[in-house]
Amino acid sequence: MGKEFTGSWVLFVILLIFCWPGALIYFFVKYEERAPQYYQQPPPPPPGAAPPPPPAQGQQRTCMGCGQQIPVNFNNCPHCGKNVQ
């Protein structure tokens, strides 16, 4: 995670010229940690947007390790952990 100055640079320069201890305090108060772009949550869908379709219920297969029914899009059995490809 990177840190970023989120305050006003103009105010920082004015404080630096007239009162450098105040400028240092202002700088470190406004110096915040920011999450990288790939860690941020995706934006919410717009109002009125259709929800994603539910997964198909009829498409199941049998795990060869434990015999339980699992969805066809699973690579590993959620019951026993065996690779089912």
Q: What pLDDT score was predicted for residue 49?
A: 79
Q: Is 21 helix (H, G, I), strand (E, B) or coil?
A: helix
Which of 8-12, 28-32, 51-55, 79-83 bottoms out in mean pLDDT, i.e. has the lowest?
51-55
pTM above 0.85, yes or no: no
Cβ-based neighbour number of residue 63 at 10 Å: 19
| High-pLDDT (> 70) share of the chain, % | 75
38-61 residue pLDDT tens: 666 777 878 887 777 766 666 888
Q: CA 35, CA 32: separation in Å to the nearest integer?
A: 10
